[in-house]
Structure formats: C-alpha cells, structure tokens
Amino acid sequence: MKKVIKSVLKAIISWLLIFLRNFKTGRYVCEQILDVSMNQTKVIDHSGVKLIFAVPNSLSNYRADSFSTKEPETLEWIDSMPDGSVVWDIGANVGIYSCYAAKHRNCRVFAFEPSVFNLELLARNIFLNKLTERVTIVPLPLSDELSLNGLNMSSTVWGGAMSTFGQSYGHDGETMQKVFVIPTIGLSMVDAVGLLRISQPDYIKMDVDSIEHLILKGGIPVLSKTKSVLIEINDKFNTQAQEADLYLREAGFTLKEKRHADYFDTYTTAARHTYNQIWVK
C-alpha cells in the first residue's frame, strides 16, 4: 500500500513540476525548491566530534542519522589511527567517514568516489566541515588495472550505492540490474600512487559493493606498505571473500576481526552476511 501511495504522489509531483516548467514563474519556483533542498543540512555529534552533512533526500538523511550506529566498528577503527595518518577511503559515497577521519584524527584523506550522483554531496560535505585542505576527491573507480570501461549503477539517487566498475555483477555476485552507465577510466592502487602521485596510504577503508577483490589484486605493492585495511565483504559471495582473503594475506595482513552492527543479524537480505573485516600487521 505504501508503494502505491508513493507512486501516486511521485506521479502527481512529476506532473506538477512539468506544468510549472511551462511558465517563467513556475521555473523559478522549481529552481527555488531544488536550491532549498540541496542546502538542507544536519549536524551530528559523535563522541564530541561535530559534523555537518548535506541532506537533500531521505537516503542522505538516513546516512547522517545512522552515523553512530550503522558501522560502529568503522568509527572505532578510525578512532585508533595515529594523528595525521594518510587514509584512502575507497568508495567514499558522500564522505561521512572521510570527514570524520579528517576532522577527528587530522588525517590526510583521499576519497575515491566515481558516482556523479554522490560527488556533489561529497564535495558539499567536505566544504561544510571546512576540510578542503584535508580531504582530496578522486572521482575515478579503482580496479585491478588501468582501463576504459563503464561504471554500472543500480541507482541514480543522491547517496546511493551498489555500483560496479567494468563487471556485470553486484554486491552479492549476482547479475546486477543496472539503470545507469557512466563511461570512465579505472585504475589500480599502484596506478594511483605511480601515475597520480597520490600519497601511499597508512590505512585503507574499502567499500565498493562488488569488486573489492579485484582492487586488492591490483594493489599488492601498495598494500604491502599499508598498516591496516578495513574492507566490507559479503561472506556469501564466495569469489569475493576467498580472493580478498588470499590477496590480503599475500600482502602480509592478518585478520583481526570481522563485525557488523547487531541489527543486521535480523535482516533477510545480503546485509546479514556482510561484515567489515579489519586486517592488521
């Protein structure tokens, strides 16, 4: 019933906006609605660290509201970093963890995020938190090699996830239902350091919802000099889980722990089998 109501409301709003666009005053109204929406913000306070996030839609609002509860293991991992560490946030989305690491631990963060729908919010969040000197956006996907290919996306929503570069499968290893494709350039972690001169990371956070194992495969020399990795792995996606384990051990890491928030155990979706793994040396 809720889906029907939402569909009807969406149709009505779409019709109203199309109608308004036929008039100069109507276009102005539409532009003001969009501007007000994009400038909506929410302040969160986690352990005394205050952050401001742009919240133009329900998903970005959810990411702000669930900041302290969705991935407590990620926040604890960031809390343990020495001040001034270099961090790669691979799959940064709208940058909530990039901003937290930069503000709380004074980290130098490189936020890898190829989604054109997330980049504006990522940039806004960096700006809102006055972190433009600490966080650098890298708007390219990582993979196992330098290549031209498509970023396949299952959503065009601000703050959306579940995209994959150069592959047809998604976060669960099954064929992905793509709704949008961006032709772009992918590169390996080795290329990021060697070609783009991005600083060697002390810490790597990786959450790209599909090709984590391929990124690791193309980054062994970089991983070998990294202190710790936090990576999201779906245990039911056997290829991803087994190859990620293989490449991380090859780079000299040992699995310290794997965790997710307790409420994920009640889910019937892939989230129930998906954990943040923390690897150390």
CA distances from 175 to 154, 163, 172, 178, 265 (A): 11, 12, 9, 9, 24
- Domain-located, residue 97: yes
**Is residue 93 pLDDT above 90, yes or no?**
yes
Phi, psi of 105 (to 5 degrees): -115, 10
pLDDT score, position 146: 96
Q: Are 90 and 215 in contact (CB under 8 A)?
A: yes
Average pLDDT, the chain: 93
- Domain-located, residue 50: no
Total domains in the fold of the chain: 1
Closest by Cα among 155, 165, 97 to 126: 97
- Domain-located, residue 36: no
Q: Are 77 and 228 in contact (CB under 8 A)?
A: yes
Q: What is the dihedral of CA 215, 126, 59, 28, to 10 degrees?
A: -130
Predicted confidence (pLDDT) per residue in 118-160, tens digit: 999 999 999 999 999 999 999 999 999 999 999 999 999 999 8
Neighbours of 104 (CB within 10 A): 18
Q: Strand 180-186 to strand 228-234: parallel, antiparallel, or no bridges (unpaired)?
A: unpaired
**Is residue 166 pLDDT above 80, yes or no?**
yes
pLDDT score, position 194: 96
Q: Which of 13-22, 53-62, 76-85, 256-265 has the lowest mean pLDDT?
A: 13-22
> Residue 228 sits in which domain range?
63-280
- Domain-located, residue 49: no
Distance CA 241, CA 30 (A): 46
At 271, which CATH number? 3.40.50.150
- Domain-located, residue 28: no
- The burial class, CB within 10 Å (0-12 / 13-18 / 19+), for 100 is buried
- Residue with more model confidence, 249 or 262: 249
State the pLDDT confidence band at 109, using cuts at 50, 70 and 90.
very high
In angstroms and rounded to an integer, the radius of gyration of the C-alpha atoms of the chain is: 19
- Domain-located, residue 44: no
- Domain-located, residue 17: no
Beta-bridge partners for 185:
148
Q: Are 90 and 114 in contact (CB under 8 A)?
A: no
**Is residue 87 pLDDT above 80, yes or no?**
yes
pLDDT score, position 1: 65
Distance CA 56, CA 35 (A): 9
Helical segments of the chain, H only: 2-20, 24-38, 58-65, 72-79, 96-104, 116-128, 189-194, 212-217, 220-223, 238-250
Q: Which of 28-32, 173-177, 232-236 has the lowest mean pLDDT?
A: 28-32
**Is residue 4 pLDDT above 80, yes or no?**
no
**Six token digits for residue 78:** 């960031």
- Domain-located, residue 234: yes
pLDDT score, position 22: 82
